[in-house]
Amino acid sequence: MKPNNILGLSHGFLLGHLQSVGLDFPKNISVVDVCPKGMGPSVRRLYVQGKDINGAGIYASFAIHQDVDGQATDVALAWSVALGSPFTFATTLEQEYKSDIFGERGDLLYLTLIKIVFTRYTEDGMSEDLAYKNTIECITGIISKIISTQGLKVVYESLTEEGKKEFLTAYSASYYPCMDILYEWYEDLVAGSEIRSVVFAGRRFYEKEDAFKGIKQIGVIGWGSQGPAQAQNLRDSLAEAKSDIVVQIGLRKDSRSFNEARAAGFSEESGTLGDIYETISGSDLVLLLISDSAQADNYEKIFSHMKPNNILELSHGFLLGHLQSVGLDFPKNICVVVVCSKGMGPSVRRLYVQGKDINGARIYASFAVHQDVDGRATDVALAWSVALGSPFTFATTLEQEYKNDIFGERGELLYLTLLKIVFLHRLIQKGVAKSSSTYHSTPNLLQDFRKNS
């Protein structure tokens, strides 16, 4: 490679190998990593589908390991966009290959194989305990017996010379990330905090249905952007799981939204549509999806209608910021969780419906547990995210969420775009820019704004 060239990777394993032999990449080149979160055929298929279906595309992570001339970040992001990735998040090259070894290759591949074998045994009438033992024996088989009785060295010595080289390469590159993560797992287990920070879900709500055990009614308060999408997705997921849980919409009876909710299949006659505060009082879970200003004006009355041990669910953490600003907090006798779909409400609903036919179409989400009074909050939040159709859910905190939202979505995405347009207008007024060029630039900015929104 020539000096100042850029080496692009889609997996960081080479870094692990270099570290295992005490080396690194040449210092005169940039090294970047862009990793689509899907297999190659899916990356291509969803890229092609994305020309006709908005939202179809594979998300990606990116990392900058070396940047010799300041271009690496721009090049990596341009590469990700060119692949069709609708959402790109930052990581490091080391984090990527460690998470890949344990996440994609360990959890996603091997655990999937184990699950398939286990399911086959149980469907044939075998008890779960016996099915588990037979599954482990089937997967590990002879090699586990050899290792347990004679050690790993015997396996190594049974290989060909070429096989030994491949074994040493893989073993050396995997040893340190394996040990790091195993130590983390051990510490989590000792501390009792072995909760995964990422949950893969798709449309498998039936696997999380037990998290809603004991819940008879979910109240969805509000019918703005998120309300219609979340209410309908929850209703449909519960129906698919043959659950008796009622999803009831709580609105002002004289509002236009009341008729819109009726048109979406909710009604007073079926017990799925009612007054705001009656819905809150009668629900075990309350999804508070009214506007930030309405939450700030009405939180006292809302809290007063919630029963002890109820769960308050938010899709934006602004209410925490407001409470902190006036020296208050949420009532201590309720759970408080947040699940934030990374898209506008109409997209959450549209991609949920598309997801029945198109694998990969759906909206990712973050979740946070702010208060947990009875140990149910994490399970309920993850079940809620799965029921919304989120194929990928990652952990955050309520405070991080609302600060990121204010500065990222509302600050950068909305206001900075508008400021650019105002800036172009001022350039015209001062004669710095031609009105014709600015006229053509403004629609481009607005197009980016609409796409990102």
**434, burial (CB in 10 Å: exposed 0-12, middle 13-18, buried 19+):** exposed
pLDDT of residue 192: 47
**pLDDT reading at 157 higher than 90:** no
As annotated, the binding site includes 100, 104
- Give the residue with greater pLDDT, 298 vs 110: 298
101-115, 245-259, 277-291, 333-347: segment of lowest average pLDDT? 101-115
Per-residue pLDDT band at 201 (split at 50, 70, 90): very low
As annotated, the binding site for Mg(2+) includes 100, 104
- Give the residue with greater pLDDT, 206 vs 38: 38
Active site positions, annotated: 316
Chain-centre distance for alpha carbon 144: 35
**pLDDT reading at 434 higher than 50:** yes
Please give the CATH number for the structural domain made up of 6-94: 3.40.50.720
Interatomic CA distance for residues 312 and 354, integer angstroms: 29
CA 222, 225, 226, 232 torsion-angle sign: positive
Q: Is 94:72 a contact under the CB 8 Å cutoff?
A: no
Interatomic CA distance for residues 247 and 439, integer angstroms: 48
Does the predicted TM-score (pTM) go above 0.75? no
Which residue ranges does the chain devote to CATH 3.40.50.720?
6-94, 212-405
Superfamily of domain 212-405: NAD(P)-binding Rossmann-like Domain (3.40.50.720)
Give me the DSSP letters along 375-398.
Answer: S-HHHHHHHHHHHTT-SEEEE--H
- Give the residue with greater pLDDT, 185 vs 401: 401
289-293, 312-316, 406-410: segment of lowest average pLDDT? 406-410
How much is the mean pLDDT over the chain?
Answer: 81
Q: Strand ranges (DSSP E) for 335-440?
A: 335-341, 365-371, 392-395
CB neighbour list of residue 213: distance below 8 Å, 6 or more residues apart: none
Q: Is 251:257 a contact under the CB 8 Å cutoff?
A: yes
pLDDT of residue 202: 47
Interatomic CA distance for residues 305 and 396, integer angstroms: 28
Q: Which CATH architecture has domain 99-199?
A: Orthogonal Bundle (1.10)
Mean pLDDT, rounded, for 408-416: 57
**pLDDT reading at 327 higher than 50:** yes
**pLDDT reading at 358 higher than 70:** no
The percentage of residues in the chain with a pLDDT greater than 70, rounded to a whole number, is 72
pLDDT of residue 411: 54
pLDDT digits (tens, 9 = 90+) for 116-149: 777 888 888 888 878 877 776 666 655 655 665 6
Mean pLDDT, rounded, for 101-117: 65
- CA end-to-end distance (rounded Å), the chain: 40
pLDDT of residue 166: 77
3-class secondary structure per residue, 175-225: HHHHHHHHHHHHHHHHHCCCCCCEEECCCCHHHCHHHHCCCCEEEEECCCC
Q: Is 278:248 a contact under the CB 8 Å cutoff?
A: no
DSSP state of 101: I
Mean pLDDT, rounded, for 238-261: 92
At residue 58's C-alpha, the angle toward residues 53 and 63, to 5°, is: 145
Which residue ranges does the chain devote to CATH 1.10.1040.10?
99-199
User: Which token pair is 237?
Assistant: 């997921």
**pLDDT reading at 92 higher than 60:** yes
